[in-house]
Amino acid sequence: MPASRSVLRGLVWLLFVLLALRFAALWADAFAGTSLPFPGSIGFTLLFTAFSVLHAASLLGWRRSLAFLLVCAVVSWCFEEVGVSTGLVYGAYHYGEQLGPKLGKVPLIIPLAWFMMVYASWTVARLLLDGAGSSTSGVGTAARIVTAAMVMTAWDSVMDPGMARSGAWTWEQGGAYFGVPLQNFVGWLATTVTVYALAELLFRRLGGRLPLVIAGVYAGLPAILYALVAADRLLLPGLPELRVVAAFGMGFVALLAILRLALGPPAALPPRHSSFEQE
């Protein structure tokens, strides 16, 4: 393994450990009454985003990683800006001041938050579809896009009510789902499908072959973080009723992904490349 790639993987592991320790500190504070420090929402998002960019770079190459980040940031900001300004995408809402400076009406941290969720959900979706079909076929691509969008929307279903109650954003007319309008989840699906579809097109233009099978713990680290988020929402939801949603929504998805990672690639599959050729 080239030294530069080894250093990159080392940084990814370091960020993964820091993120895992953040969850451990949070749970220790809640259940053992400790007072361990851990980053807040903005710090967590920055760490998770850095992890996602570097992990993608180590497997897909820098061009594809940065293209994925750019597509996600631009698309999510555009959807969010239109959403805040018109209420047409997610419903009527506005952001508070606790998420920091804004570009237009959208906090700068929000496109980064989208990417950390997009990349982890994309990895989970690929694990769920491990070895199913061709990575370049139209059906395989569509299945990956739709599955990833559903996986990510499952994340929002347990995140959004608590974040809204914390004041990060406000639903101006409330909604049927713990104060969140159902339109929000349609908007999430539309946003994520757009991001994943454009990313798939970019991957093809940039060349190389998308790995069909995720093999090894390292490749599955984003899915493990998705599972830690699911456990966090199951153990420490702002709304106790959301434990049911966390268990049978995001939690069930995370369980399937971790089982797929633990069991390894289907035995009947012939060997395939595990990553793009490095740039």
Residue 137 belongs to some domain of the structure: yes
Residue 20 belongs to some domain of the structure: no
Distance CA(236)–CA(230), nearest Å, equals: 10
Tell me which amino acid residue 22 is: R
Residue 18 belongs to some domain of the structure: no
Q: How many CB atoms lie within 10 A of CB 155?
A: 23
pTM (two decimals)? 0.90
DSSP for 158-172 reads HHHHHHHHHTSEEET
Residue 9 belongs to some domain of the structure: no
**pLDDT at 267 (0 to 100):** 59
Distance CA(66)–CA(166), nearest Å, equals: 32
pLDDT at 160 over 90: yes
pLDDT at 186 over 60: yes
Domain that holds residue 247: 40-263
More confident residue, 47 or 133: 47
Integer Rg of the chain from CA = 18
**pLDDT at 266 (0 to 100):** 61
Distance CA(42)–CA(221), nearest Å, equals: 21
Collapsing DSSP to helix, strand or coil, 18 comes out as helix
Nearest Cα to Cα of residue 52 among 38, 66, 71: 66
Q: Work out the angle between the directed axes of helices 251-263 and 109-128 (0-180°, nearest 10).
A: 50
Residue 140 belongs to some domain of the structure: yes
Distance CA(187)–CA(184), nearest Å, equals: 5
CB 253 within 8 A of CB 151: yes
Average the pLDDT over 151-163 and give the result: 95
Residues 102-114 have pLDDT tens digits of 999 999 999 999 9
Residues 9-50 have pLDDT tens digits of 999 999 999 999 999 999 998 888 888 888 888 999 999 999
Total number of domains constituting the chain: 1
Q: How far is CA 161 from CA 178, 185, 187, 212, 275, in A?
A: 6, 12, 15, 35, 37
CB 42 within 8 A of CB 99: yes
- For CA atoms 232, 73, 139, 265, give the dihedral sign: negative
> Per this entry, what is the length of the chain?
279
More confident residue, 137 or 15: 15
Residue 8 belongs to some domain of the structure: no
